[in-house]
């Protein structure tokens, strides 16, 4: 399939997008797009391309383009241009009657999705050549008369299922989070490849500022950057490389304040002060497939850890665990109440669960001062604040996981939170372990606390001298 018009051509055509992308400040973007489209480059474009690719241009149109660029480099503008141009192509030869080709922009969150959608909507509302193509506006995009739909949504593989995808753009993919999946970018990528297979010109495009050295974008950079590959192109550059109009003084000031953060934000460098807390493959090996909760058993000594919350921002969680005779810590139960909720009501519910496991004492986060003690005490449960800070809790939890001395429940959000934890190196030499900005760790905090408590207790109840049964009753379901 030969495109009606390429993105790089549309960006210089005054009748289409030339008004929004005029001037030399967009030259690096145009050079990269021309190379990705398999078009010839003149000497100036070739120099610009090599400055961010460190390789020769592909010999044909690539199937994947991954752009790693600093903040304010024009990423959303280019993403919207790619979507608009992809939407005006003719895909009729590859569609069944009634089928639509989907041009999908997947954003890091709703706010980012709205920004990209506004840009795209602006092109089709204001341009006299594009406006007549629109047959219907939807909440998350628009439909065109050529049987193409533009969809701008948050990252989710569910948005892809059943669609024939002509052009997917993955916006700020290095920052994708999903409470249900430990690796949402990989889930989306796996769903996109078969959805694109029937459109010969389909090109997957990922555009993002870099973050920590993990995830799909980082692995693509490791494998394909500076490699002569005609299917996958990876480019990487600083903000001013893609947008020379940015004031250099602003970037220099940011580098002086926080060199590590600014190097990622403005210079397009992977953060060297951040690393994964734990390997995803290790976490998955500790999960017992299908196990949602284990019923309480007579004679087993259980430990509990709670992470209270005021009910407006964070979830309130409770974890219950025990230790097997071989020293394995087993996570038996994990409860989560997501906001909004009444802390008093949730404390009563948690207390009832604790009594089911014959637990009269629960350890927990120091959040909230006296109120957790008072609320649990009202239901006959003693609440004891933990001696460990959250950072120390995670530090002590890691050796237990690395040694394979834990069995985790098959709980997607727990797995996602655990795999998302970051280890941040501080100048004082002490690492800080915490969730990423905008993410949560309420479930993993409770689970880590319960498993640490359990593995430091006897494997059987000293009051009855009874050992736990080797058979556990598994209760399936949510």
CATH at 196: 3.40.50.300
Cα–Cα distances (Å) from 103 to 77, 161, 175, 200, 365, in that order, read 16, 13, 21, 14, 46
Residue 381 in any domain: the answer is: yes
pLDDT at 106 over 80: yes
- What is the rounded average pLDDT of the residues 256-265? 87
pLDDT at 179: 57
Are both 316 and 346 inside the same structural domain?
A: yes
Residue 1 in any domain: the answer is: no
pLDDT at 259: 86
Three-state SS string over 218-272 comes to HHHHHHHCCCCCCCEEEEEECHHHHCCCCCHHHHHHHHHHCHHHHHHHHHCCCCC
Confidence of residue 426 (pLDDT cuts 50, 70, 90): low
Are both 158 and 29 inside the same structural domain?
A: yes
Which of 254, 272, 290 is the last residue in one of the domains? Answer: 272
Are both 81 and 19 inside the same structural domain?
A: yes
Q: b/e for 307-343, b at 16 or more Cβ within 10 A? A: bbbebeebbbbbbbbbbbeeebbbbbbbbbbeeebeb
- The single-letter DSSP state of residue 58 is P
Average pLDDT, the chain: 89
Are both 192 and 252 inside the same structural domain?
A: yes
Are both 297 and 350 inside the same structural domain?
A: yes
**Domain span holding position 91:** 7-272
Are both 254 and 294 inside the same structural domain?
A: no
pLDDT at 1 over 60: no
pLDDT at 412 over 60: yes
C-beta of residue 336 within 8 angstroms of C-beta of residue 317: yes
Confidence of residue 472 (pLDDT cuts 50, 70, 90): very low
pLDDT at 429: 54
pLDDT at 473: 31
Confidence of residue 159 (pLDDT cuts 50, 70, 90): confident
pLDDT at 295: 96
Query: Tell me: the pLDDT tens digits for 443-464?
Result: 999 999 999 999 987 544 444 4
Are both 230 and 289 inside the same structural domain?
A: no
Are both 178 and 316 inside the same structural domain?
A: no
What is the token pair recorded at 297? Answer: 């058993």
Q: What percent of the chain has pLDDT over 90?
A: 70
Are both 210 and 319 inside the same structural domain?
A: no
Of the listed ranges 242-256, 262-276, 380-394, 438-452, the one predicted with least confidence = 262-276
pLDDT at 300: 94
Are both 261 and 284 inside the same structural domain?
A: no
Are both 90 and 170 inside the same structural domain?
A: yes
Q: What is the CATH number of the domain that holds 321?
A: 3.30.420.240
Place of tokens 């939807």: 138
pLDDT at 72 over 90: yes
pLDDT at 162: 84
Residue 346 in any domain: the answer is: yes
Confidence of residue 378 (pLDDT cuts 50, 70, 90): very high
- What is the rounded average pLDDT of the residues 252-264? 88
pLDDT at 477 over 50: no
Residue 114 in any domain: the answer is: yes
Residue 185 in any domain: the answer is: yes
Confidence of residue 83 (pLDDT cuts 50, 70, 90): very high
pLDDT at 178: 61
pLDDT at 306: 95
- What is the rounded average pLDDT of the residues 296-304? 94
- What is the rounded average pLDDT of the residues 67-94? 94
pLDDT at 239 over 70: yes
pTM over 0.85: no
pLDDT at 333 over 80: yes
pLDDT at 86: 95
Residue 2 in any domain: the answer is: no
- What is the rounded average pLDDT of the residues 154-174? 88
Which of 272, 297, 312 is the last residue in one of the domains? Answer: 272
pLDDT at 431 over 90: no
C-beta of residue 12 within 8 angstroms of C-beta of residue 6: no
Are both 267 and 284 inside the same structural domain?
A: no
- What is the rounded average pLDDT of the residues 353-368? 90
pLDDT at 115 over 70: yes
Which of 237, 252, 272 is the last residue in one of the domains? Answer: 272
Total domains in the fold of the chain: 2
pLDDT at 95: 94
């Amino acid at each position: 399939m030969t495109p009606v018009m390429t993105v790089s051509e549309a960006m210089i055509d005054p009748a289409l997008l030339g008004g929004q992308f005029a001037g030399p400040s967009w030259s690096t973007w145009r050079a990269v797009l021309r190379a990705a489209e398999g078009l010839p480059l003149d000497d100036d474009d070739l120099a610009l391309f090599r400055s961010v690719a460190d390789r020769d241009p592909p010999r044909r149109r690539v199937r994947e383009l991954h752009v790693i660029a600093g903040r304010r480099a024009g990423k959303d503008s280019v993403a919207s241009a790619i979507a608009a141009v992809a939407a005006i192509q003719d895909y009729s030869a590859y569609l069944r009657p009634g089928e639509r080709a989907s041009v999908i922009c997947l954003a890091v969150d709703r706010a980012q999705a709205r920004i990209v959608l506004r840009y795209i909507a602006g092109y089709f509302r204001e341009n006299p050549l594009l406006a007549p193509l629109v047959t219907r506006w939807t909440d998350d995009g628009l439909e065109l008369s050529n049987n193409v739909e533009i969809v701008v949504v948050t990252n989710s593989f569910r948005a892809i299922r059943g669609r024939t995808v002509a052009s997917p753009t993955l916006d700020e993919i290095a920052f994708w989070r999903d409470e249900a999946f430990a690796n949402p970018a990989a889930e989306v990528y796996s769903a996109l490849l078969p959805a694109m297979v029937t459109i010969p010109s389909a090109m997957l495009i990922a555009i993002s500022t870099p973050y920590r050295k993990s995830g799909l974008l980082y692995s693509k950079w490791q494998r394909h950057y500076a490699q002569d590959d005609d299917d996958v192109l990876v480019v990487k550059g600083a903000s001013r490389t893609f947008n020379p109009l940015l004031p250099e003084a602003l970037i220099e000031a940011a580098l002086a304040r926080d060199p590590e953060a600014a190097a990622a934000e403005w210079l397009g460098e992977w953060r060297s002060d951040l690393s994964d807390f734990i390997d995803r493959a290790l976490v998955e090996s500790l999960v017992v497939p299908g196990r949602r909760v284990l019923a309480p058993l007579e004679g087993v000594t259980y430990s509990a850890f709670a992470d209270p919350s005021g009910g407006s921002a964070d979830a309130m969680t409770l974890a219950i665990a025990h230790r097997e005779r071989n020293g394995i810590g087993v996570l038996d139960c994990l409860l989560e109440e997501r906001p909004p909720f009444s802390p008093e009501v949730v404390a009563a519910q948690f207390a009832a669960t604790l009594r089911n496991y014959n637990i009269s004492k629960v350890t927990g986060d120091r959040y909230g001062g006296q109120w957790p003690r008072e609320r649990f005490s009202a239901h006959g449960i003693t609440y004891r604040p933990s001696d460990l800070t959250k950072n120390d809790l995670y530090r002590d939890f890691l050796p237990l996981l690395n040694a394979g001395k834990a069995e985790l429940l098959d709980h997607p959000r727990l797995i996602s939170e655990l795999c998302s934890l970051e280890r941040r190196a501080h100048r004082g030499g002490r690492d800080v372990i915490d969730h990423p900005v905008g993410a949560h760790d309420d479930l993993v905090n409770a689970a880590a606390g319960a498993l640490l408590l359990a593995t430091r207790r006897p494997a059987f109840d000293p009051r009855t001298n009874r050992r736990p049964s080797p058979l556990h009753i598994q209760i399936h379901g949510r």
